[in-house]
Structure 1
Amino acid sequence: MEIATVVVQGLGAVAWPAVVAFVLWTFRDPLGRLLTSGSVSVRAAGVEISTSARAAAATALQDAGTDKAVPLDAQTAGTRVEAGAAAVAARPAPPRVLWVDDQPAHNVHERDALLRLGMVVEQAVSTDQALQVILRSTPFDVIVSDMGRPESHTAGYDLLDQLHRAGIRTPFIVYSDSTDPSHYDQAISHGALGSTASPAELLDLIVQALRR
C-alpha cells in the first residue's frame, strides 16, 4: 500500500507540469490577449466572442440610440449586448442577417453592433436585390428591413409578403423611424416578428429570433 501511494504521488508530480504546459499551450491566444489588451475570448459552439468585442458592441448600440434619438445608458446597453452574445454563442455557426435598406448609411452603428457580436451581416438596397440574395445564398437566420423605399412606401411589407408566397419563413423584423403603435400591429398581421424604431429593441428582436 505504501509503495502504491509513493508511485501515485510520483506520477502526480510528473503529470501536473505536463497538464499545466498543455493548458498554457491550448489557451495561449486568449491568455496572450488577456495580458496585452485585457480581452479574453470565449469560444462556444464554434462562435468566438471576446469581452472587448462585447464592450465595442455596447458602445455601438449606444451610438445608434443617440442617432435615433432614443438614448441608451451604458448599463442597459451592456445588458442587451450580453443577451445578444449569449444567443450568438449558443449557435453552431455565426448567425446570418440580411439587412434591407435603401439608405444603409443610416444604420452603420446598428450593423457594427451585430458584427461585433459575431454575426454575419449582408446588405441589400431594394426588394429585388433582397430576393436575389435570399434565393441564391445560404439561408439567413434573420431579415431586418426598413419600410419605405423609392420603389414603394410599403416596401418592407411587400418583401415580406413575397417571401411568404415563396414559402420562406425567415424571422422578419421591420426597422423604421415610425413609433406609431399601429405599425407594430400591422407588422405582426403581415407575419413579421415585430416592428421598432429603437436600436435596443431591434437587438432584442434579433435575439428572440436566434433563440427560436
Structure 2
Amino acid sequence: MAEMINAIATLLWPLVVLFLLFGFRSQLREVIKSAAKREVTLEIGGQTVSLGKLSEVQSEAIADLQKQLGELREQLGAPDETVVVTTEQQVTPFAVLWVDDHPENNVLEIAQLRASGVRVDLARSTQEGLTQFERGRYRAVVTDMGRYENGAEVPDAGLQLVDAVRVLDPAVPVAVYSAGRTARTMTDDATSAGANLVTDSPWELSEFFRKLELR
C-alpha cells in the first residue's frame, strides 16, 4: 500500500507542476519578459529598485571592496591616519540625511544603515534637503555632487548643500558621495566648503559611518 501511495505521489508531482505552469503561464511570461529586460523590481530598505540597478550597484561595491582589500594588503602594518570625525553623539539621534536625485543608486548603503537601526531621510534636491535639515537633528549628512534640480543640471549642487549646511551647523559630519570623476575633480572645493569626506568608494563611506558608530 505504501509503495502504491509513493508511486502515485511520484506521478502527481509532474502534473501539479504542469498545472501551475499552465494556470499561471501569463504571469510567468511577464516575469520572464521583465527579467529579460532587467525590469524586475525589488523593495530593499524601503526603496523600490530594479534588478538591473541592484546588479550594477552590487558589482560596483564588489569591485571597490576588492580594490580596498588590495590596498590594505600593501599597507598592512601601517598606522591608520584617517581623521576620525566627532560630533555631539549624546544629543544627536541615530539619523542620516541623504540627498541624491537618484537614491536608487545607493540602495544597498541605505538598506545597511536602516538594518542597523539608523533612520535615513531621503531628499532629492538641495532645497528639500535643507528644509529637512532645518526641521531635524542628524548624526550625518550624505550628498551626491551633481543633481538635476528645477529642470536643469546643477553640477555643483552637492557643493552648494555643503556650504548651506555649514552655515546651519558647523559641526555635523558631511560626506560627498559621488561618481569617481566628480569626486576627484571637486575634492578640494568640497573639502574647503566643509565636507569631511569626498569619495566614490562604498568602503570609505562605510568607514565614515562606522567611525560615527552608525554601523
Q: Measure, in 1, the Cα distance between the counterparts of 2:184 and 2:65.
A: 21
DSSP-derived class of the 1:135 partner? helix
In the superposition, relative to structure 1, how do residues 93 and 132 fare at CA in structure 2: closer, same or farther (>3 Å)?
Answer: closer
- 1:70-124 Cα deviation digits (max 9, x unpaired): 3426xx6xxxxxxxxxxxxx97886211110000111101111111222111100
Residue 146 of structure 1, CA deviation: 0.3
Residue 168 of structure 1, CA deviation: 4.8
Aligned residues, how many? 135
Q: Measure, in 1, the Cα distance between the counterparts of 2:92 and 2:173.
A: 17
Give TM-score scaled by structure 2 length: 0.54
Overall identity of the aligned pairs, in %: 33
Higher mean alpha-carbon deviation, 124-133 vs 182-191, is at 182-191
Q: Measure, in 2, the Cα distance between the counterparts of 1:160 and 1:72.
A: 27
- Structure 2 residue 59 is matched with structure 1 residue 66: yes
Q: Is the 8 A contact 1:65 1:200 kept in 2?
A: no
Q: Measure, in 2, the Cα distance between the counterparts of 1:143 and 1:93.
A: 12
Pick one of 185, 189, 192 that aligns with 1:186. Answer: 189
Partner of 1:175: 177
Q: Is the 8 A contact 1:66 1:72 kept in 2?
A: no
Partner of 1:32: none
Unaligned 5+ runs, structure 2: 1-54, 70-88
Q: Is the 8 A contact 1:98 1:123 kept in 2?
A: yes
In the superposition, relative to structure 1, how do residues 118 and 63 fare at CA in structure 2: closer, same or farther (>3 Å)?
Answer: farther
Residue 204 of structure 1, CA deviation: 0.9
Letter of the structure 1 residue corresponding to residue 207 of structure 2: D
Partner of 2:140: 142
Letter of the structure 2 residue corresponding to residue 116 of structure 1: A
In the superposition, relative to structure 1, how do residues 199 and 129 fare at CA in structure 2: closer, same or farther (>3 Å)?
Answer: same
Partner of 1:121: 120
Partner of 1:155: 157
Map 1:17-32; keep pairs closer than 5 Å: none
Partner of 2:23: none
Higher mean alpha-carbon deviation, 101-110 vs 156-165, is at 156-165
In the superposition, relative to structure 1, how do residues 63 and 149 fare at CA in structure 2: closer, same or farther (>3 Å)?
Answer: closer
DSSP-derived class of the 2:148 partner? coil
Residue 178 of structure 1, CA deviation: 2.1
DSSP-derived class of the 2:165 partner? helix
Partner of 2:200: 197
Q: Measure, in 2, the Cα distance between the counterparts of 1:202 and 1:126.
A: 21
Q: Is the 8 A contact 1:98 1:143 kept in 2?
A: yes
Map 1:28-43; keep pairs closer than 5 Å: none
Q: Measure, in 2, the Cα distance between the counterparts of 1:177 and 1:125.
A: 17
In the superposition, relative to structure 1, how do residues 177 and 69 fare at CA in structure 2: closer, same or farther (>3 Å)?
Answer: farther
Unaligned 5+ runs, structure 1: 1-61, 77-89
- 1:145-194 Cα deviation digits (max 9, x unpaired): 00001131100110111122234531110000125545333321111111
Partner of 1:103: 102
Q: Measure, in 2, the Cα distance between the counterparts of 1:191 and 1:110.
A: 23
